[in-house]
Amino acid sequence: MAEAKPKPKIKKEAIEMPKQEPKARVKNFNEVALGYDEEQALEEASRCLQCVKPQCVVGCPVEVPIPEFIKCLREKKYAEGIATIKAKNALPAVCGRVCPQEEQCQVKCVMGKIGHPVSIGRLERYLADWEREHGFQLPEKGKPTGKKVAVVGAGPAGLTVAADLVKLGHDVTMFEALHLAGGVLVYGIPEFRLPKKIVQNEVNYIQKLGVDLRLGNLIGRTHTIPELMKNGYDAFFIGSGAGLPQFMDLPGENLGGIYSANEFLIRVNLMKAYNFPDYDTPIRIGKHVVVIGGGNVAMDCARSSMRLGASVCLLYRRSREELPARKEEIENAEEEGLVCKFLAAPLRFIGDEKGWVKAMDCECMELGPPDASGRRRPVPIKGSEFTMETDTVIIAIGQTPNPIIQRTTEGLVVNPKHGTIIVDENGKTSLDGVYAGGDVATGAATVISAMGMGKKAAKSMHEYLQNKK
């Protein structure tokens, strides 16, 4: 009898992804993570056990068939691999870059029990980047249904709904307030994490599917939802995000040199203020920037400021363990020179004679019992006040939905405290035929949660449209 061949040993460690060196990258806005080459992708893909009951898929909010696409990659069937992903996820190049896989698919991967989980996101990115270089294939579309759908907002939620419904044969128009589609993917997340051309390519794909994208249309002003209803739209999806910055209501918060994270990032990313005077928008950034907050938004502000030449201190009122930003991004930021001051919060801002911020008074905190969010509540320590000198402050403590649509759509029920649109588990709002999802329904969350809600809403909208006379 022939001897059984020994099984090849599975590598416990994941293949590292090449990155720009910290000293070099902190001086430019080019993408930090460089992506796998073919050899690295094949080696990482070989670590997948092709589980019969893949837990990774359970962890993915849009249920990408992960073992199937990894199998295609292993067999070098790249076009098939990307088509497998795209059947469920219209934005793979984005998700492969910015999704918190370490909390979703990868945290469930069985390989994590014996070593590192399979780097699912990096493999997804590899296939999406391969497709960008080789050209995309359009999937087959359903027969035209004659039903008209309006999607408000071209962020991840709206793009997902638009792609799913147009593939099913509906006539989809997407209204976007800005001059570019992508939502936070273009106006918030900086170029060095997610290059704009990558987002644009995903948007191009969705337009090629047949979605009519109308830029510069602020719903609630240019048109209202009740007006569009009269103009023959059969169903609506509101994916207008959470773009209204929150402030702290502290003395001196209106001084010059104090930005909301939104304004700062829009100036830097969308208006390319870092390229002034080649681009029109200037940005005044000082030598010592303080960023207040601890999420992905705060990290993006801090890392953009360092690239503009400032030294940056992140002020966070809880401890390192509670930092909500992705671990990978915290590590990247610290490698680039970010200094963190934990367990401290601002009390007031102090201005110079011209009305520009020059310092801020702060106090130290300690962690008390958990609050409503389940995280330990920061409690001020008496007599712990201190002053920090600074010439620029960026406030990154959260965003809420802009109320313009809610105010101009009678009968649309919103949460009175958070301003979010109330929806059921299928994204249905209080109005017949009107659905919502993403940050406008949940408050600021993640790309994939917005896409997951978009997918559920699209499914429910399709059923609604099929039954509509």
Q: Does 296 bind ligand FAD (CB under 6 A)?
A: yes
Residue 55's binding partner among ligand SF4, ligand FAD, none (Cβ under 5 to 8 angstroms by kind) is ligand SF4
**Smallest distance from ligand FAD to CB 153, Å:** 3
Q: Which stretch binds ligand FAD (CB under 6 A): 74-82, 169-177, 252-260, 306-314?
A: 169-177
Report the residue number, 440 or 461, with the smaller CB distance to ligand FAD.
440
Concatenating the DSSP letter of every residue in 260-320 gives EHHHHHIIIIIS-GGGTTTSS------SEEEEE--SHHHHHHHHHHHHTT-EEEEE-SS-G
* CA separation for the pair 461, 49 (Å, rounded): 37
Q: How many residues bind ligand FAD (CB under 6 A)?
A: 43
Which amino acid, residue 267? R
Residue 54's binding partner among ligand SF4, ligand FAD, none (Cβ under 5 to 8 angstroms by kind) is ligand SF4
Report the residue number, 183 or 286, with the smaller CB distance to ligand FAD.
183
Picking from 418, 17, 10, 412, the residue whose alpha carbon sits closest to that of residue 219 is 412
Which amino acid, residue 137? Q
**Smallest distance from ligand FAD to CB 261, Å:** 7
For residues 295-321, one letter each, b for 16 or more C-beta atoms within 10 angstroms of the residue's C-beta and e for the rest, the string is bbbbbbbbbbbbbbebebbbbbbbbee
Among 119, 240, 392, 406, binds ligand FAD (CB under 6 A): 240
Q: Which stretch binds ligand FAD (CB under 6 A): 92-100, 204-212, 338-346, 369-377?
A: 92-100
Among 59, 121, 156, 257, binds ligand FAD (CB under 6 A): 156
For residue 296 the two structure tokens come to 């992905």
**Smallest distance from ligand SF4 to CB 435, Å:** 31
Concatenating the DSSP letter of every residue in 403-446 gives THHHHHSTT--B-TTT-PBP--TT-B-SSTTEEE-THHHHSS--
236 neighbors 226 (Cβ within 8 angstroms): no
* CA separation for the pair 194, 305 (Å, rounded): 17
Report the residue number, 69 or 435, with the smaller CB distance to ligand SF4.
69
Report the residue number, 35 or 67, with the smaller CB distance to ligand SF4.
67
Picking from 437, 441, 433, the residue whose alpha carbon sits closest to that of residue 411 is 433
Number of CB atoms found within 10 A of residue 67's CB: 18
Number of CB atoms found within 10 A of residue 248's CB: 13
Q: Does 56 bind ligand SF4 (CB under 6 A)?
A: yes
Residues 313, 444, 417: CA angle, nearest 5 degrees: 110
Altogether, the residues listed in the chain come to a count of 469
**Smallest distance from ligand FAD to CB 47, Å:** 24
Residue 296's binding partner among ligand FAD, ligand SF4, none (Cβ under 5 to 8 angstroms by kind) is ligand FAD
**Smallest distance from ligand FAD to CB 411, Å:** 17
Among 48, 429, 439, 458, binds ligand FAD (CB under 6 A): 439
Q: Does 96 bind ligand SF4 (CB under 6 A)?
A: no
Among 85, 166, 184, 360, binds ligand FAD (CB under 6 A): 184
**Smallest distance from ligand SF4 to CB 109, Å:** 3
94 neighbors 101 (Cβ within 8 angstroms): no
Q: Does 123 bind ligand FAD (CB under 6 A)?
A: no
Q: Does 241 bind ligand FAD (CB under 6 A)?
A: yes
Contacts of 27 (CB under 8 A, 6+ apart): 307
Interacting residue ranges for ligand FAD, rule: CB under 6 A = 98-100, 152-158, 175-178, 183-184, 188-189, 217-220, 239-241, 243, 265, 296-297, 300, 326, 402, 404-405, 438-440, 444-448, 450
